[in-house]
Chains A and B, each alone.
Chain A
């Protein structure tokens, strides 16, 4: 492999990892608030279409992005209503959301298949793009990639350095205590779900606005589920989500490159890679968590939020 090829592959890694990064961060917010949202795949599917349609109708990539984010928040809001207001089972509601969202994307999106989008374009950041290796990998990307560099820090700041974030995490750890402290855990959870859906929606919109410039259905292709798995890998921490997202971006970029190079490895085997990797990553993080627990290093601090998936029954 020539150095040039490796650099191209790494740049593609960042690109492929970006939508997963947005979605993982979104799911971290939602789960930190105590709501397991298994609808990420459906949210990403629907907002990839919303992003395309917004851009298609208005001609502006940014309005498309807004449409994608909005669609994500709306669909997540549905999950919030079912689980927070009507106390439905979070696992089943999330699955229903995925079926619903993917269905909506296919139903509404099929007539537009093959339409070109004028989405986000890559541009070089002045000065930074001239850095020796990093410039080529990180700073000749599109605006959404640059935005994604800031996102983990933003999410971290929101969750750990604001009183809103403190309340949000309290609602996910111990809603009764949050309630006793005068907070409204239900409202905080709902906001967490909406915010998480918004970020997942940005990830979905990235797929249709930057990742490809020809609209087709099925763009999400399991990335939403990868994001759900990466939240566990990241121990519910935004910083670690970056590593996970780029790991998957790397595998996806590698597999695409290999397919394009006309290898004689069957494409079905190559397509399997990200899914098998997801299981491996889960196994790895489970094993590490287990050994850390055994040695007593890992306290409650970096494990799952205590009230994750548990609905708040008492109103008030």
Chain B
């Protein structure tokens, strides 16, 4: 590998930037100016980097959860739904125990988010283990259901009577809000950030320093290998899906409490899907996940800036994410295989070819 990987990634990035420039032209916008605006919006000012860091928190947490499942080839693409259920769990605690002080209330909220997220992740796991139901589709379908559960609650039972019909809960009591670290200097950056290094360290300790983590890597070789080697395959599937769901749920609760301060449908902006892109681009390793999560969060910030200045739909970010992932997938071919430009011999059998002087 060596220098190959960065080259492939840079080429993929260049290719997808080119594609995005093409899209801008198709939409009748200035291509180079647009891309410049994207970069300036993402990295230009101090506050844009802070914004990116804030958005990177949920992406990073979801991505760790997804990566854990991908490690053993369990295709959990349900992070979005688990995120929604985490937000629902945290909101339930905030609305039910709102009178408690923050030291009790916040852990209460995180706990219910972890539990609900984990349960949502366990549904596809159990279905797969008991009946062999394809977890890709079931976890994806639960995304739609999870978001609709959230909407059902904020349009119905939890709707703030004082919201003039807008679908949102009432504001959380101050005790249910995650505080900002240093409002004067660090803007909206909040203490939820702490969860990232904690989860990241736990992730790599679990994978590299524990027996179960080792067995998990072995299960990644395939279910039959794992069962043949008498590894606890079923238990590990439940574990990774539960933990993955819990991490996404945690992300949902942090996002609800720290950036919105109430539950409303605008919470769901597709972090769970970005997390999948991040996990794969980072090849499921924690440091690269952190870095890639930040980059794609910065991309979102940049797109927001473009949206304001060029009136471009937010979907521009989606196109870029998809394009980068497709290009990197194709590019990884050059890392796994050496490409030779010799034409394959056709026609004459081997011995004939050898007989020539």
Contact = CB atoms under 8 A, between A and B. Distances in A.
A258 interface: no
B137 A78 contact: no
Contact of B134 (A96, A104, A232, A276): A232
Interface string B54-75: 0000000000000000000001
Contacts of B336: 87
B155, B322, B330 — most chain A CB neighbours (10 Å): B322
Interface string A237-274: 00000000000000000000000000000111101100
A315 B312 CA distance: 43
Interface in B77-117: 77
Nearest to B81: A275
Contacts of B333: 85-88
Interface residues of A, number: 52
A96 B319 contact: no
Interface in B314-356: 314-323, 325-326, 329-333, 336-337, 344
Contacts of A225: 137, 140-141
Name which of A107, A282, A315 has the most chain B CB atoms within 10 A of its CB: A107
A298 interface: no
B323 A88 contact: no
Given A107-B27, A107-B316, A316-B344, 13 more contacts: A85-B330, A85-B333, A86-B329, A86-B333, A91-B75, A93-B326, A102-B315, A225-B137, A271-B148, A275-B144, A276-B141, A276-B145, A279-B127
B313 A100 contact: no
Contact of A286 (B27, B131, B142): B131
B206 interface: no
B322 A278 contact: no
A278 B124 CA distance: 13
Interface in A59-115: 78, 81-82, 85-89, 91-93, 95-108, 110-111
Contacts of B149: 268, 272
Contact of A272 (B136, B145, B276): B145
Contacts of B287: none
A108 B314 CA distance: 11
A100 B145 contact: no
Contacts of A232: 134, 137
Name the prevailing secondary structure of the B interface residues: helix
Given A103-B316, A103-B319, A276-B145, A282 B137 contact: yes
A162 interface: no
A222 interface: yes
Interface of B: 23, 26-27, 75, 77, 127, 131-134, 136-138, 140-142, 144-145, 148-149, 151-152, 155-156, 273, 276-277, 280, 312-323, 325-326, 329-333, 336-337, 344
A269 B145 CA distance: 9
Contact of B315 (A97, A103, A229, A266): A103
A302 interface: no
Interface in A103-159: 103-108, 110-111
Contacts of B27: 107-108, 111
Interface in A7-54: 38, 42
B315 A110 contact: yes
A228 B330 CA distance: 23
B23 A286 contact: no
A266 B151 CA distance: 10
9 contacts: A81-B330, A87-B337, A93-B329, A97-B326, A100-B323, A103-B316, A268-B156, A279-B127, A283-B131
Given A286-B132, A289-B132, A96 B277 contact: yes
A287 interface: yes
A286 B136 CA distance: 14
A306 to B, nearest CB: 14
B279 to A, nearest CB: 9
Nearest to A87: B333
B322 A97 contact: yes
> Nearest 8 CB-CB pairs, A to B?
A100-B322, A103-B318, A106-B315, A88-B329, A96-B325, A268-B152, A99-B322, A86-B333
A291 B202 CA distance: 41
A96 B27 CA distance: 22
Given A104-B319, A279-B142, A269 B152 contact: yes
A107 B321 contact: no
B245 to A, nearest CB: 16
A266 B158 CA distance: 13
A88 B155 CA distance: 42
A228 B138 CA distance: 11
A286 B134 CA distance: 9
Contacts of A289: 132
A107 B75 contact: no
Contacts of A269: 148, 152
B319 A100 contact: yes
Contacts of B155: 266-268
Given A93-B326, A99-B325, A271-B148, A279 B136 contact: no
Contacts of A85: 330, 333
